[in-house]
């Protein structure tokens, strides 16, 4: 059992960095999501499983031909550094079982089994030392599609793990005959390879994945071996849930539910971690800038993934995103690096971060009237300035517990303009959210609310950023809000309501195929209570449904906005994403 002091010692550099680069790169990258002229969507690194490529064929035709002659470790690391990233984590072995380094445990590695014949991990480690980035490995300790008798491969062999493992450790309880096989794999491949990575490359961090694919006792043995080999090594939360140095979010988070303690989000530039030329769904630079601010505001890190091509080059779309991040970072990086969780309530205009007595206001929605209202900051502000114009102080005024910053007519950065507020002491804040009357819309996200009853937060993926498990009319989503003056708003609601599905179905998940149980559908009548007003609506089936409920006048003062169910006719009422309050100009 690790102590909090030991964790603090390990995590010092990690907390300071706040931003890192995740790299999924392997022999699968050369297939770029296509096998035998058939294009596959989803994760490019899963092509062996999705296409059911036999192990001998994958070894010969994929690994045996891998030759990334354009690979340049120094160029990769320089690109990460200019984008603002403080650490780099790369796949040393992914689920396909192939070692992307010179492993003595098996000849199934990049030096001995490919025409390339070089150790890119050694070169990346050296480049990170040269440019001052921390370095670490992703290692798939539980999945291995490259060994006939390893966990995870079940299309050719009757082995544990893989797509058959649907209920975590329960699987091992039902099939104890596979336990010796799992232990043999851990003893003969997982632990030996992990130890050689630690001893030969001296990483700063190890990033594990899919702990539910091994029995808990095997994961604990791996953790014990790691801690003994290098006590200062940072270990993520996907080796043993709850016992790592920090928690990981879901794959590809688009929003972040509340997280206590240390945590890390792992978005990727499109919808695949490994390179997949069939997926051109790359998000704009502004998306990642704002996501970075959101994670830092909530005390988390962002480990942003790219998937280099099989020839060793980084896709131009990824390069453009990284260059865009770099331009923003050159001006505003201090508002992320070394910051801590904000004390401020959620603000209508964006997010905020903190470093000592300084607050950084990440303004996504620039006020058209030249007045940025910072809600609930009673601490004295000594000075304000835009990071883009640090020598030009901004005037501040104080109506009560709020601060009004006089800002230029135009935002310096359309994605995120950052204002620094230097406070006279450690910033204190009012936890009640101030509704804005001078911006386009107040969006009250479910992730920023208090959940009452049976409700729980979704994972944060783009289609799962909701409050869910609404099974009782006593369940409620609640936002405390405040108004400085009476105002009228147009009230809207956004939610998902799953359809009825009568049978279980198999879907592609983060680590293979997973069973989705039958669902009786969502349905019923919801109620939104605002300042003594009740707005009701009938739940309609669908996703990301938006409904306008009407206008509501809210007096000055503190109020509670509450969503409940009047009647539930389905398996659940609905899955709430947000409420919106659009100021009505009279």
Contact 307, 44 (CB under 8 A): yes
Cβ-based neighbour number of residue 191 at 10 Å: 20
Measured distance CA(101)–CA(129) in Å, rounded? 18
* Rg of the chain taking only CA atoms, in angstroms: 25
Taking phi over 0 as left and psi of -120 to 50 as alpha, with beta for the rest, 242 belongs to left
Nearest to 489 by CA among 439, 562, 539, 433: 439
In sequence order, the 6+-apart residues with CB closer than 8 A to the CB of 277 are: 32, 33, 34
Amino acid 79: pLDDT: 98
Residue 517 has pLDDT above 80, yes or no: no
Nearest to 419 by CA among 376, 379, 367, 484: 367
Nearest to 197 by CA among 183, 187, 207: 207
Mean pLDDT computed over 154-165: 53
Residue 422 has pLDDT above 90, yes or no: yes
Measured distance CA(477)–CA(447) in Å, rounded? 10
Which backbone phi and psi does 109 adopt, to 5 degrees? -145, 165
At 341-382, the pLDDT tens digits run 999 999 999 999 999 999 999 999 999 999 999 999 999 999
Q: Could you give all domains of the chain from N- to C-terminal order, each with its CATH number? A: 4-142+168-332 (3.20.20.80), 350-431 (2.60.40.1180), 442-583 (2.60.120.260)
Mean pLDDT computed over 191-207: 98
Measured distance CA(563)–CA(540) in Å, rounded? 16
Q: Which of 134-138, 239-243, 307-311, 334-338 has the lowest mean pLDDT?
A: 239-243
Q: Can you count the helices (H) and strands (E) in the chain? A: 11, 32
Find the Cα–Cα–Cα–Cα dihedral 307, 310, 313, 316, rounded to 10°.
-60
Mean pLDDT computed over 311-315: 98
Percentage of residues of the chain with pLDDT beyond 70 = 92
Amino acid 168: pLDDT: 47
At 427-482, the pLDDT tens digits run 999 999 999 998 889 999 999 999 999 999 999 999 999 999 999 999 999 999 99
Percentage of residues of the chain with pLDDT beyond 90 = 86
Amino acid 2: pLDDT: 78
Read off the pTM.
0.94
Q: What is the mean pLDDT of the chain?
A: 93
């Amino acid at each position: 059992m690790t102590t909090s002091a030991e964790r603090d010692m390990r995590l010092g550099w990690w907390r300071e960095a706040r931003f890192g680069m995740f790299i999924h790169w392997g022999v699968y990258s050369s297939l770029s999501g296509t096998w035998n002229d058939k294009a596959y969507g989803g994760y490019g690194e899963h092509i062996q499983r999705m296409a059911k490529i036999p192990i001998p064929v994958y070894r010969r035709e994929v690994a045996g031909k891998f030759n990334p002659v354009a690979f340049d470790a120094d160029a990769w690391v320089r690109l990460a550094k200019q984008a603002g990233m403080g650490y780099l984590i790369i796949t040393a072995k992914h689920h396909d079982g192939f070692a992307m380094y010179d492993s003595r445990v098996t000849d199934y590695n990049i030096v001995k089994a490919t025409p390339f014949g070089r150790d890119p991990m050694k070169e990346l480690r050296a480049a990170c030392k040269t440019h001052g980035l921390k370095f670490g490995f992703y290692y798939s300790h539980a999945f291995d599609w490259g060994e006939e008798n390893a966990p995870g491969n079940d299309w050719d062999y009757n082995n544990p793990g893989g797509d058959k493992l649907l209920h975590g450790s329960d699987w091992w309880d039902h099939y104890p005959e596979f336990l010796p096989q799992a232990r043999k794999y851990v003893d003969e491949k997982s632990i030996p390879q992990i130890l050689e990575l630690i001893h030969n490359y001296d990483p700063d961090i190890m990033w594990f994945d899919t702990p539910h694919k091994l029995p808990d006792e095997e994961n604990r043995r791996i953790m014990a071996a790691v801690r003994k080999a290098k006590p200062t090594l940072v270990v993520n939360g996907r080796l043993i849930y709850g016992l790592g140095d920090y928690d990981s979010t879901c794959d590809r988070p688009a929003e972040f539910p509340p997280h206590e303690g240390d945590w890390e989000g792992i978005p990727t530039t499109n919808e695949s971690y490994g390179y997949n030329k069939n997926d051109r769904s790359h998000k704009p630079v502004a998306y990642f800038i704002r996501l970075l601010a959101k994670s830092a505001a909530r005390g988390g890190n962002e480990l942003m993934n790219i998937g280099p091509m099989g020839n060793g080059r980084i896709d131009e779309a990824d390069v453009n995103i990284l260059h865009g991040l770099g331009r923003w970072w050159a001006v505003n990086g201090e508002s992320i690096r070394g910051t801590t969780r904000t004390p401020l309530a959620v603000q209508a205009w964006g997010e905020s971060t903190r470093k000592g007595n300084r607050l950084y206001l990440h303004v996504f929605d620039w006020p058209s009237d030249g007045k940025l209202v910072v809600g609930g900051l009673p601490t004295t502000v000594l000075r304000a300035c835009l990071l883009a114009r640090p020598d030009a102080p901004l005037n501040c005024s104080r109506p009560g517990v709020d601060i009004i910053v006089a800002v230029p007519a135009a935002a310096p950065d359309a994605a995120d303009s950052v204002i620094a507020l230097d406070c006279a002491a450690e910033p204190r804040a009012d936890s009640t959210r101030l509704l804005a009357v001078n911006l386009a819309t107040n969006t009250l996200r479910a992730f920023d609310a208090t959940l009452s009853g049976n409700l729980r937060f979704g994972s944060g993926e783009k289609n799962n950023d909701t409050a869910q498990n609404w099974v009782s009319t006593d369940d409620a989503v609640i936002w405390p809000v405040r108004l400085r003056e009476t105002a009228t708003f147009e009230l809207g609601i956004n939610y998902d309501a799953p359809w009825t599905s009568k049978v279980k179905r198999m879907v592609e998940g983060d680590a293979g195929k997973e069973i989705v149980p039958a669902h009786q559908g969502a349905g019923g009548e919801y109620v939104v209570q605002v300042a003594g007003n009740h707005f009701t609506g009938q739940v309609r089936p669908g996703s990301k449904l938006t409904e306008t409920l009407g206008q509501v006048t809210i007096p000055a003062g503190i109020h509670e906005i509450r969503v409940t169910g009047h009647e539930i006719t389905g398996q659940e009422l609905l899955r709430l994403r947000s409420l919106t309050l659009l100021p009505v100009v009279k």
